[in-house]
Amino acid sequence: MYCTLIITRYPKYLGLFGFLSMALFRLPLYFNKRIKFFKLMGSGKNGTFDIHPDFNQWALLFTAEDAIISTPKFIYKYWNFFHCNIKEFLLQPIEGHGLWDKKKIFGELPKQTNYNGSIAVLTRATIRMNRLKNFWNNVGSVASKMSAAKGLIISYGIGEMPWIRQATFSIWEDKNAMKDFAYSMQKHVDVIQKTRSENWYKEEMFVRFRIISMKGIDKSIAAKMLILQPSYEEA
């Protein structure tokens, strides 16, 4: 199984066309039978869980059995017409657990592997309505420290529905750097424990990926990558 994640940024004052794309893109994605699962999503402002949406940044995620499955041409033509900045990540899920829309969209995955290289992480959750206040009162302090975490290369906050269905996609120099942030900061550990004890999530998923290729990535970011089999196109 392979996963493609595309982050697009529309020019200033054209974010409305990103909002319209959430409806327009469904048909070409739905009728592409080689695409097994897809999600069209909005974005938060600060690269992680953020209560404030970024109306100029939007995301598309889809899965396929074949790594060469490309985004439908209509979608790329739409983005190019509006001169969007496009960042595309081709990923192979290697570890993880959880569900998305009650499905194991990446198939059966081990919880741990011996992979050691640059790693991408997708964390997503559907927050219970009666736990929204608990969630947003606690994640802000953790999210604000993520951008300064040692070993973090890049991160994006994305989601299907503002405030309720949230996700974070991040890339780290290696698994140790990611784990240091996740488990060495006491505040983050406390929040993880609260998600369990207070039952914040109706559904959740956590997946790690090997990065196969990247497109539209700045040279400064690409230079940080320690991919075992590097393949990327610089912006």
Q: Is the pLDDT of residue 227 over 50?
A: no
Sequence ranges of the domains in the chain: 2-234
18, pLDDT greater than 80 = yes
Strand pairing class (35-43; 152-161): antiparallel
* Average confidence score pLDDT of the chain: 86
**Which architecture does CATH list for 2-234?**
2-Layer Sandwich (3.30)
Question: Which pTM value belongs to this model?
Answer: 0.88
* Ramachandran region, residue 186 (left: φ > 0; alpha: ψ -120 to 50; beta: rest): alpha
Task: Give, for 79, the enclosing helix (H) or strand (E).
Answer: helix 73-81
Angle between helices 186-197 and 175-184 (to 10 degrees): 70
What are the beta bridge partners of residue 60?
6, 40
Contact partners, residue 7, CB within 8 Å, separation at least 6: 43, 57, 58, 59, 86, 87, 88, 156, 158
Q: What is the structure's pLDDT at 234?
A: 45
